[in-house]
Amino acid sequence: MSDIAVKSKAEVTPQVSGNPKAAAALDDRLAAITMPDAGFSADARADAMVRLRAMGLPAPRDEYWRYTNPSAFNAATATALPFDADGAESPLFTGRDKLTLVFVDGAFDAAASDDLSLEGVEITTLAKADAAGDHWAAGLYGQLELAGQTPVKRPFAALNTAVAHDGLLIRVTGKPSKPVHVLYRRGTADADAVWHHVIRVEDGAELTLLESGMVGARSNGMLEVDLAKGAKLHHIAAKRANDPKVGLSHIFARVGAEAQLKSFTLAVNGTLMRHEGAIDIVGDDAVAHIAAAVLGDGNVGPFHHDDTVFITHGAERGESRQVFKKVLKNGATGVFQGKILVKQGAQKTDGYQISQALLLDDNSQFLAKPELEIYADDVKCSHGSTTGAIDEEALFYLRSRGVPYDRAIVFLVLSFLADALSEVEDDDLRDDINDRLEAWLTTPPQN
């Protein structure tokens, strides 16, 4: 028989960091963290720590860190960044009936939050649950993160599982009347916030999850999402605009049969951000859409935004969409690393991915690695990626109708972002976001 075994490349080349310097950097990183008193999550945390030590912190030469320098995430402590503690909170999502849960520097603030009761939803916090020995989240905490480590190692996700003190454990059994809103606040200038949410949506249940506000000077957020048969999660994250931050966010999800995951992120300025997605479609006829609209203006502050999103189809007739739009100017950098991976047997998969950058000046850059990795034949998968300036033809058309130059640019930027925004299902929420975008574009910078 063949002497050439055909396996996925990643399965045979684990990224092991045998470098003593790298090991020392990880030691320093861990030494600066106060470890939580783990209860139900103790085993998962111990396992994550072992995995983290095996893979080490990322290095700039690592394949998926070639476009984003990991040093600020690797540093032992966060660098203090100025913030406006008294500043008004973003008007986004105001005027909507919602259950608001407040986190300050990664820790739940019960006093500032609404009562944790909502029909069809069971909510506890990680810190509280960890005080006890057992919890429904025991089979999930760190498990989806673990699944997301293949085929690419994600050390900060493992770090998060190992060291997160707090987060929300949300179990949805019905169709709650209002969204759950996680509002982040910053307490100190050098806050190094880590949180880990686990969301389980049971058969046929639905939840809308909103995230907004100010995260730490440095942050590492994890959202583990487990969708049972026919479950739906609509997730919209819009961190506070123009807020200097070094942030990592993760969404690691398992999407069951007929379930639907829709996740949309809005990012407007803010130093260095990396969003990692690892979405596993495990049930037939499931849907996963991940989208982002990103605006970066290097004049507001340094700007580097990285979306590294993998969607894996492991079941039949799955539909996935990745829609990433970045508008960059004044030395801003946008990164997109996306993959559609279709496993053998995942027939009738419909996978689509689009990554586009609008460069408003010559200083900005877009670096993209849009991948397809496909092991099933009866599939329809495609991706596109474009980079360029404002469409001169459209700009002239608008101006010839009397629309002033600046206003025309705003129109064209909104036009460019429209495909990403259309991934927000709820009309009111989408209009909210569109209005905020327009406000930011018209009179930057404000929150």
Partner 1 sequence: MTGTTDLEVREGVDRETVEAVQNMGSYKYGWNTEIEMEYAPKGVNEDIVRLISEKNGEPEWMTDWRLEAYRRWVTMTEPKWAMLNYPEIDYQDQYYYARPKSMEEKPRSLDDVDPKLLATYEKLGIPLKEQMILAGVEGAEDAPSEGRKVAVDAVFDSVSVGTTFKDELAKAGVIFCSISEAIREHPELVKKYLGSVVPQSDNYFATLNSAVFSDGSFVYIPEGVRCPMELSTYFRINAENTGQFERTLIIAEKGSHVSYLEGCTAPQRDISQLHAAVVEIVILEDAEVKYSTVQNWFPGDEEGKGGIYNFVTKRADCREARAKIMWTQVETGSAITWKYPSCILRGDDSQGEFYSIAIANNWQQADTGTKMIHLGKNTKSRIVSKGISAGQAQNTYRGLVSMHPRATNSRNYTQCDSLLIGDKCGAHTVPYIEVKNNSSRVEHEATTSKVDDDQLFYCRSRGMDEEEAVALVVNGFCREVLQALPMEFAMEAQALVAISLEGSVG
Partner 2 sequence: MLKINNLHVKLEEEDKQILKGLTLEVPAGEVHAIMGPNGSGKSTLSYVLSGRDGYEVTDGEAELDGEDLLDMDPEVRAAAGLFLAFQYPVEIPGVGNMTFLRTAVNAQRKARGEAELTAGEFLKEVRVKAAELQISPDMLKRPVNVGFSGGEKKRNEILQMAMLSPRMCIMDETDSGLDVDAMRLVSEGVNALRSPDRSFLVITHYQRLLDHIKPDVVHIMSNGRIIKSGGPELALEVEQNGYADLLAEAD
The contact set with partner 1 (CB under 8 A) reads: 1-7, 9, 12-13, 63, 344-345, 347, 357, 359-362, 364-389
If one asks whether residue 418 binds partner 2 (CB under 8 A), the answer comes out as yes
The secondary element (H helix, E strand) that includes residue 394 is helix 392-400
- DSSP code at position 91: -
Partner whose footprint covers residue 119, from partner 2, partner 1, none (CB < 5 to 8 Å by kind) = none
Q: Which does 3 bind (CB under 5 to 8 A by kind): partner 1, partner 2, none?
A: partner 1
Q: Which CB, 34 or 400, lies closer to partner 2?
A: 400
399 contacts partner 2 (rule: CB under 8 A): yes
CB nearer to partner 2: pick between 255 and 412: 412
Please say which residue, 299 or 382, places its beta carbon nearer to partner 1.
Answer: 382
Query: 226: which residues sit within 8 A by CB, 6+ positions away?
Result: 140, 144, 198, 199, 200, 201, 253, 254, 256
We find the least distance from the C-beta atom of residue 352 to partner 1, in angstroms, to be 10
439 scored as a contact of partner 2 (CB under 8 A): no
Q: Does 401 bind partner 2 (CB under 8 A)?
A: yes
First to last CA, the chain: 64
Give residue for tokens 């109708």: 401
Of positions 11, 86, 392, 427, contacts partner 2 by CB under 8 A: 392
Q: How far apart are CA 333 and CA 387, in angstroms?
A: 12
* Helix, strand and coil percent figures for the chain, each rounded to 5: 25, 35, 40
Query: Cα separation of 373 and 313, whole Å?
Result: 10
Looking at the Cβ atoms of 126 and 413, the one nearer to partner 2 is 413
**Is the sign of the CA dihedral 376, 381, 382, 383 positive or negative?**
negative
- Verify binding: residue 402, partner 2, rule CB under 8 A: yes
- Asked if 403 touches partner 2 (CB under 8 A), the answer is yes
Q: Nearer Cβ to partner 2, position 112 or 396?
A: 396
Our finding on whether 61 is near partner 2 (CB under 8 A) is: no
Asked if 381 interacts with partner 2 (CB under 8 A), we say no
Query: Token pair of 325, please?
Result: 């739009």
415 lines the binding site for partner 2 (CB under 8 A) = yes
Listed ranges 132-140, 182-190, 244-252, 412-420: which one lies at the site for partner 2 (CB under 8 A): 412-420
Written as six digits, the tokens of 324 are: 């990433």
Minimum distance of partner 2 from residue 357's CB (angstroms): 16
Per rule CB under 8 A, is residue 400 in the interface with partner 2?
yes
Contact 122, 180 (CB under 8 A): no
Q: Do residues 303 and 335 make contact, with C-beta atoms less than 8 angstroms apart?
A: no
Q: In angstroms, rounded to a whole number, what is the distance separating the alpha carbons of residues 419 and 117?
A: 35
Q: Is 134 exposed, middle or buried (0-12, 13-18, 19+ CB in 10 A)?
A: exposed
Which of the ranges 8-16, 210-218, 408-416, 439-447 carries the binding residues for partner 2, by CB under 8 A?
408-416
Chain residues binding partner 2 by CB under 8 A are 391-394, 396-405, 407-408, 411-412, 414-419, 421-422
